[in-house]
Structure 1
């Protein structure tokens, strides 16, 4: 059990820290920025092509059939979580730069993360199959839902999401995903036999997107814009968000009357937010000098959720073995 409690139990933590540190020490700026953005866009295209290949159409159909689980999960992820983010964005506005405060709205509109949600559901003794399908469906929906939902909630405060951004989303996210779905009959088995390599592809692409985004923010003076109180407020608000998300997802699963295994699946699929969608989407929606500010709450949230997920899953597993409940 001790290895699950390690700070770096999930390699994604190290990737995010390394990408952020590299952006601070050696940012892609000046003439290097367009080249870095091009590499990031190409990597994102490949990632979503692979995502389309590996999310089986049969799993999507099974998830839609289980509407009693999926519809409340969809409502929680794209309804309750964005509203919590909108409220925290208002609180953050008095402590952090406006674009960072806006990042709480962006964070709220993102789908959940598939890989870690499934892993921690398994560790906690939850319904793994349901977690895989639920998180996959939410991620697929996020490709289409997140950008318009963010634009509607952010309103005039948001960066302009015009036709150019919609075209970029279509070409870099939706098109490769659709192509992947179309060819998955020839590729699905091959990818499933190489889960380890695919997981590292995810991490590499996310690392590139985070590096490019934070490079722009560093060039704009991100560090100098924060006081110590500002950093404390940002971390505190992210912790509040994570507690509200985790507690709310667990309580909602109880109100729905889900059996314990399904309730655990709802908890991890509902409370965790995906940097795998968030960082690439921010790189497409926002200019590099803006994206780093907007994803700051997301990176903190993702790092902290990974740090607490293993201990939480271990606690749930221990309680299940002891025949206890968390309420």
Structure 2
């Protein structure tokens, strides 16, 4: 069995190294130039996303409401509820940052492109996967900040004025604009989907660079050692396995889903979006020196979920062809 190497994962860690040794790009002009660049880039990501949305596939996928409830419930309810019991055990600032970084991961929407691709490889319910992956990001604009405001000190940041308006301005409005222009530019977006995906990843890398550069300059990583990284990795693995297992039990034995719907529930409900996480974090952790710490579990989860789900998807594919 061959596993396709994901160069984006390597690029993520390269940009962290770049942020450590060369934070000057982020510091240039007080970060205003690179901040404006990322804002424009984010808006374009979701504009292109709107251009590529298929109304027909969304309409077809809308019918399977039990599957949708399971996927969105796992994404926005199950994940956070698994982290909440550990909050009372937080005793110091480092433990708080550790827990909050995982809770941020848990509150995020599901990823779009990789979920649909994996469901397609495994021969699951593709139309339902497109619907759930697409609607998840829009729901996350509302739900993720709501979860985070219970535990994150926003300081002088106006949650509803700055955070929500920022997300609406850089996500919702561009998506709507893309949807409106889809009849004219939709075919163009699909034709150049590979190039647009490369653009998306470039913007994410820039956001990751900024977050880690600020954290490195502030010295926030100096308080953590190898044990912190080890526990982060262990926590990510355990969280993924637990969520994946619970979704499997609900889909297979409680709701009695068929094979295609089980695959879609597992792949869409157990994943988290690095794209949305990068964008949401830009507003939720504005001016926070710990932004790099908060992104760490998300990046590890992103790499781990791609590796594991790729293996599982190929296994489902082989079983279906026998």
TM-score by length of 1: 0.88
- Residue 34 (structure 1) aligned to one of 32, 35, 41: 32
Range 107-116 or range 215-224, more displaced: 215-224
Displacement of 1:95 in angstroms is: 9.3
Q: Secondary structure at the match of 1:295?
A: helix
Instruction: For 2:14 and 2:220, locate their aligned partners in 1 and report how far apart those are by CA, in whole Å.
Output: 17
For 1:316, the equivalent position in structure 2 comes to: 316
8 Å Cα contact 1:96/1:230 also seen in 2: no
Q: Secondary structure at the match of 2:248?
A: helix
* 1:18 equivalent in alignment to 2:18: no
8 Å Cα contact 1:89/1:103 also seen in 2: no
Instruction: For 2:91 and 2:28, locate their aligned partners in 1 and report how far apart those are by CA, in whole Å.
Output: 30
Displacement of 1:161 in angstroms is: 5.2
Q: Secondary structure at the match of 2:124?
A: coil
Query: Taking structure 1 as reference, are residues 229 and 125 closer, same or farther at Cα in structure 2, changes over 3 Å only?
Result: same
For 2:270, the equivalent position in structure 1 comes to: 271
For 1:71, the equivalent position in structure 2 comes to: 69
For 2:131, the equivalent position in structure 1 comes to: 133
* 1:81 equivalent in alignment to 2:76: no
Displacement of 1:138 in angstroms is: 1.5
For 2:200, the equivalent position in structure 1 comes to: 202
What RMSD in Å do the two structures reach over aligned CA positions?
2.3
Q: Secondary structure at the match of 2:149?
A: helix
Unaligned runs of at least 5 residues, structure 2? none
Alignment of 1:170-319 (within 5 A): 170-254=168-252, 255-288=254-287, 289-319=289-319
Instruction: For 1:89 and 1:39, locate their aligned partners in 2 and report how far apart those are by CA, in whole Å.
Output: 36
Instruction: For 2:182 and 2:86, locate their aligned partners in 1 and report how far apart those are by CA, in whole Å.
Output: 40
- Residue 124 (structure 1) aligned to one of 122, 125, 129: 122
Range 180-189 or range 287-296, more displaced: 287-296
Displacement of 1:319 in angstroms is: 4.1
Instruction: For 2:69 and 2:186, locate their aligned partners in 1 and report how far apart those are by CA, in whole Å.
Output: 27
Give a deviation string over 1:180-199, Cα, whole Å, max 9, x none.
12222212121112221121
Unaligned runs of at least 5 residues, structure 1? 323-327
Instruction: For 2:207 and 2:22, locate their aligned partners in 1 and report how far apart those are by CA, in whole Å.
Output: 15
TM-score by length of 2: 0.89
